Structure 1
Amino acid sequence: MVHELKSDSYGFQAVFAGDKTQELRCNDRDYHVMDWVILKETKWSGDEMKAGWPLVYTGRAIAALVTHILYGPMYSLPAGWVILSLKVLYRTTALESRA
C-alpha cells in the first residue's frame, strides 16, 4: 500500500536530511510494515492551513518504506496513534506545485 502524506517543512527537512527516521501519525490509514510512505512537503504548516492559508506543495517529496510500527497505547503513545520507522529510499526536489 502507498500512503501520500502532507508534511510541514520543519519535520520534512529533518527527514530529507537524514536526521529524522520516524513519523508520528494518527493511525487513520491502517499502516503496515512494508507499506510505502510518500511525504510531500507543504509550503504552509498545518496550523497555518487551518487558519485559511491554501494547501501548496513545494514539490519536494520523499519515498520511504515503513520498517517498524509502534502502536498506541504503548509507552504513553495514545490509542489510535502510531510511530512509523522509515527507511528513506528516494528524495526529489521540484518547482512549487498547487494541490
Structure 2
Amino acid sequence: MVTHCLKIKSEHYIHVINGTKTAETRYNDRNYQVGDILILNEIDSLGNFTGNSCQVVVTHILDDSEYFKTGYVMLSFHMLNKLSD
C-alpha cells in the first residue's frame, strides 16, 4: 500500500465529498494498486490549493486499452475520511 498526494479541481472534489463521485481517471505514472491511499487536495480554478482534502482508498483499477488511451486507468475508490474543510 502506497499513499499518493494528488490535486483535484473543486468542481470534482465536491462530488467526492458528497459521495456521488467514486472513480477517477488518471495517467498511471505512479503504478497505482488496489489498497493504495489517495489524498485528494482540492484546487480552485486558478490552480491554488484551497486547504480542503480527503482521503480515499483504491478499491478497483480498470486498465483497458479499449476504453482508455494508453497509460490511463480508472481508479474506483471509497472515502476513508475528510481531512479538512
Q: Which amino acid aligns with 2:21?
A: K
Higher fraction of helix: 1
Contact in 1 for aligned 2:54/2:84 (Cα 8 Å): no
Superposed, 1:58-97 pairs within 5 Å as 58-74=50-66, 76-94=67-85
| RMSD of aligned residue pairs (Cα, Å) | 1.2
Q: Is 2:17 the counterpart of 1:40? A: no
**Residue 20 of structure 2 corresponds to residue 5 of structure 1:** no
**In the TM superposition, what is the alpha-carbon distance from 1:78 to its structure 2 partner?**
1.4
Q: Which residue of 1 aligns with 2:48?
A: 56
Give the fraction of aligned pairs with identical amino acids, expressed as a percent: 37
Measured in 1, the distance between the counterparts of 2:71 and 2:57 equals 21
Rg bigger for which structure?
1
Deviations for 1:16-65, whole angstroms, at most 9, x for unmatched residues? 11011001101111100000000000022xxxxxxxx4x42111101011
Structure 1 runs of 4+ off > 3 angstroms? Answer: none
Taking the TM superposition and a 5 Å limit, the aligned residue runs for 1:9-24 are: 9-24=10-25
> Does structure 2 retain, via aligned residues, the 8 Å contact 1:5–1:40?
yes
Instruction: Check conservation: 1:42, 1:58, Cα contact below 8 A.
Output: yes
In structure 2, runs of 5+ residues without a counterpart are none
TM-score relative to the length of structure 1: 0.79
